[in-house]
Amino acid sequence: QVTLKESGPGILQPSQTLSLTCTFSGFSLSTYGMGVGWIRQPSGKGLEWLANIWWDDDKYYNPSLKNRLTISKDTSNNQAFLKITNVDTADTATYYCARIYRPPFDYWGQGVMVTVSS
Amino acid sequence: DVLMTQTPVSLPVSLGGQVSISCRSSQSLVHSDGNTYLHWYLQKPGQSPQLLIYRVSNRFSGVPDRFSGSGSGTDFTLKISRVEPEDLGVYYCLQSTHFPPTFGAGTKLELK
């Protein structure tokens, strides 16, 4: 059974760094072709892809945020991470992680709400 | 970036009815490998998105055959027949042929 769960700080101030963790089970990020992606959704709005990391440590970032994003993984502990630097109120959203295998984003976590506020 | 345009924005439906959702892309979604990476997701109220259809017409595991996808090139359709209460929510298309992956803005399926 594939499960994913996101965790994060809940609230942070503008200019801080947002650190998110995706803890998953039922698959391994060391499996050929496996990946994990991050997607976010401002309240009441649509979905925005942020970044993917693959089994071979290949990484892809949304160009619109590329300079602010860092994705990484800890294969041994079944975790993936996303950092977003210099946050502002526009980064307020629910952040999801999702597995990527043959179809993309086939399993999603429940999401974690992040609020950026002074 | 590839722009994904979904219509309609809102779609009233009667239970047991049939509906179609359109998703159009600003450029062809045929990949150089010959596949078309167009997928459909449903986000039920208060839940995460869930995969329904991948690569245009393939139903994901556990998705009822009331859901079907079709289309090619830049024009794609999700059809839902015999609509049930658990089908209500927002439907999104996603293209992953071109970098970066982009979602449509969503179509809200709601009761008439």
- Residue from A47, A59, A106 to probe the interface with B (highest B Cβ count within 10 Å): A47
Distance from CA of B54 to the nearest CA of A (A): 6
Instruction: Tell whether B41 lies on the interface with A, counting CB pairs under 8 A.
Output: yes
A55-to-A22, A35, A98, B57, B90 alpha-carbon distances in Å: 15, 6, 14, 27, 31
The answer to whether A73 and A52 have CB atoms below 8 angstroms apart is no
Given CA atoms B63, A40, A104, B108 in this order, what sign does their dihedral have? positive
pLDDT score at A103: 87
Where chain A has pLDDT below 70, the residues are none
Q: Answer yes or no: do B100 and A110 touch at CB < 8 A.
A: no
Residue B67 phi/psi, 5-degree rounding, is: -100, 130
Instruction: Tell whether B50 lies on the interface with A, counting CB pairs under 8 A.
Output: yes
pLDDT class of B104 with cuts at 50, 70, 90: very high
Q: Residue B75: helix, strand or coil by DSSP? A: strand
Q: Which of B24, B57, B17, B15 is nearest to B40 (CA)?
A: B57
B20-to-A52, B66, B109 alpha-carbon distances in Å: 31, 12, 10
pLDDT score at A45: 96
The answer, yes or no, to whether residue B100 has pLDDT greater than 80, is: yes
Spell out the residues 6+ positions from residue B58 whose beta carbon is closer than 8 angstroms to its own: A103, B69
Chain B nearest-CA residue for A43: B46
Instruction: Tell whether B49 lies on the interface with A, counting CB pairs under 8 A.
Output: yes
Chain B nearest-CA residue for A51: B100
B59-75 pLDDT, tens digit each: 999 999 999 999 999 99
